[in-house]
Homo-oligomer: A and B are copies of this chain.
């Protein structure tokens, strides 16, 4: 058997199966694709493919379906990313051009991506390493409760309520606010952990403890709050794509609800700067996603966008959509 034809057969099987949702047999293959050989030859090739673990037969006399490994090879070596249709490009343009809030943009992005791919779309809040401190605000909510607000020049706003060890006055907060602001305005968020201690040291001794608490709050706002959130849309697509045969949708929904799981999933995926990364079926670190694939890529300075869907998905088109959306996102939000 010739190597190129073998790949061609695999490609045909994947495409047909994705399209029809049914195991594909040798005869149907030669009819739909004009490979220049007979069904018997295809059968031989299929036997080899099966031996190599690239395809499998649900039962003795049914067609073959791709295995995770088969999809993997398909994605890595065969499929070429399809260009988006003009209509899709237009959709991306028009939906993402409104120059609004970061939150707004992200929300529209997931929506768009889920509609484009008919899958569940997920986006991580952008990394803001290079963001600078714009403003700091301390608001006294209760005698021992302070709301800490950190505003970056990128337009992202972080907030957190913290507990003060002892009663606090508005005056003290005013004072501390100007101290902090004077010293860290314009500083990179990423550098806060290094800068904050010295600011605390400058504060009057009687406020030192409060300052320490506030600094701690600011720091946690700077590194975690934003980057560790995700947004998603299109969960209804899960139900749609599995209308006939029951992929267990439950575990998938559970995974989607656990932000921690999704975040780990996304960050575990290599950050291939050339293109999108695909994680197929059991390659996923989470058991509930054994029948699902994730297609994701980075945008901006390292955060992820992507989709999640059944292993049986149209990889070329999906990958194209994810890549395109990520590019626009990078452009809009800046590197």
Contact = CB atoms under 8 A, between A and B. Distances in A.
Contact of A154 (B141, B238, B240): B141
A236 interface: yes
Contacts of A163: 99
A52 interface: no
Contacts of A157: 147, 149, 157, 159
A299 B334 CA distance: 41
A76 interface: no
Contacts of A256: 235-236
The prevalent SS among residues of A at the interface is mixed
Interface residues of A, number: 39
A161 interface: yes
A145 interface: yes
A139 B153 contact: yes
Interface string A224-267: 00000000011110111001000011110110110000000000
Contacts of A159: 101, 103, 157
B161 A141 contact: no
Nearest to A162: B100
Contact of A235 (B134, B137, B257): B257
A324 B257 CA distance: 24
A174 to B, nearest CB: 11
8 closest residue pairs by CB, A with B: A236-B253, A239-B250, A236-B254, A101-B161, A157-B159, A239-B249, A147-B155, A141-B155
5 contacts: A134-B139, A147-B151, A147-B155, A239-B250, A249-B249
